[in-house]
Amino acid sequence: MCESCPIVDWEHELPTVRYFTARKVDAAMTDHIVWFDRYEQAHKPFVGGKNSSLGEMMMAELPVPPGFAITTVAYDQIWRDADLVAKVNDLLRSIDHDDFAANRVTSQKIRALIEQAPIPTDVETDIREAYAALCTHCGVDDIAVAVRSSATAEDLPDASFAGQQDTFLWVVGADAVVENVRKCWSSIFTDRAIAYRHAQGYLHQAIAMSVGIQKMVDPISSGVAFTLNPTNGDRSQVAIDASWGLGEAVVSGEVTPDNFLVDKVLREVIKREISEKGTEYCLTESGVVEKLEIVGDRRTEPSVTDEDLTAIAILARRAEKHYGCPQDVEWALDKHLPAGDNVVMLQSRPETVWSQKPKTSVSSGSYDPMQSIVSTLVSPLHKKSS
């Protein structure tokens, strides 16, 4: 047994967070809620890496789907339940890190305890009111949202906790949002996260969980853009890959994406390779992602217009200028926004791979940037094949 394994200790004083005047979404900021359109650097310790990135992009006036972060202050509240802390500690003490199968069972028990624990009334009220405000802002009674884990550990320089917690997509209704927030909180104790913290020597209580709630995007097409040419590292060009729908057909290898190069200065398309695209993944009216056959001329038509490409390149360059280094940008064309104003950014991160490896397409090779956009837009629980 792991008698020396770090044990949970949430008997610390909860931090005080101060927020600012509303600007865009007509909703209050509270200790539990930070709206992306009012993000400040002071919020970063309370909203984790992913939510910080979304907030920073929005404050840089990049087109990010609207939403809000549920702060770590809300997460800390559940650990005021002494009985819950005692039960989780008992289970953590029982772990033998060499018995992977047993530890998976222990993880499931811990997660069940957290998901069954009552959420303090003020926290749940704030979550429900913020979701209602987002619905009003978007003009939809029950807007479909992504419920995304954003752990504070994502920012640690000597460890990589990214991807160890859960995200839930196409979540509809306040009850479902609250339920999936609980699941995000509990995903701090996935078996892989527990094992990683043990291997790295991190205390369980050193990690806190924020949760992002963000309007889902239903794309006409989607893809990735790099603010350099992946073939030769030329920073005067933006490389863009695009495909119809959600992009999963590219990740699965069913479709080769269209590939373009755009000159940053002239804003002209200087290279285009249009592939035959026989498959796309789209959201149906029932909220299911379905694999569809593309028929007719659309199979060989570009999945983006030159106007779209110019808009994508301009936004990618703005992200590069804001962050001060070449960027790997995930984007989508939202079918519910007006044409010409419907490019949205889903993520922007420093480019670290393609400038080192000559490639003919930014979506081929051992590193697949489209995999990230698929995980952003497609939930395996809401998918069916044609």
Confidence label for 251 from pLDDT (cuts 50, 70 and 90): confident
Among 27, 80, 360, 35, residue whose Cα is nearest residue 226: 360
Report the chain's mean pLDDT, rounded to a whole number. Answer: 82
358 vs 194 pLDDT, higher one: 194
Question: In terms of DSSP H, where are the helices of 262-379?
Answer: 306-323, 369-377
Among 138, 96, 90, 95, residue whose Cα is nearest residue 113: 90
- Work out the end-to-end distance of the chain between its first and last CA atoms, rounded to an integer number of angstroms: 49
- Domains of the chain from N-terminus onward: 33-215 (3.30.1490.20), 219-384 (3.30.470.20)
Give the pLDDT confidence score for residue 22 in this predicted structure.
33
pLDDT digits (tens, 9 = 90+) for 153-195: 544 444 444 445 678 888 999 999 999 999 999 998 988 888 8
Distance (Å, rounded) from C-alpha 228 to C-alpha 373?
19
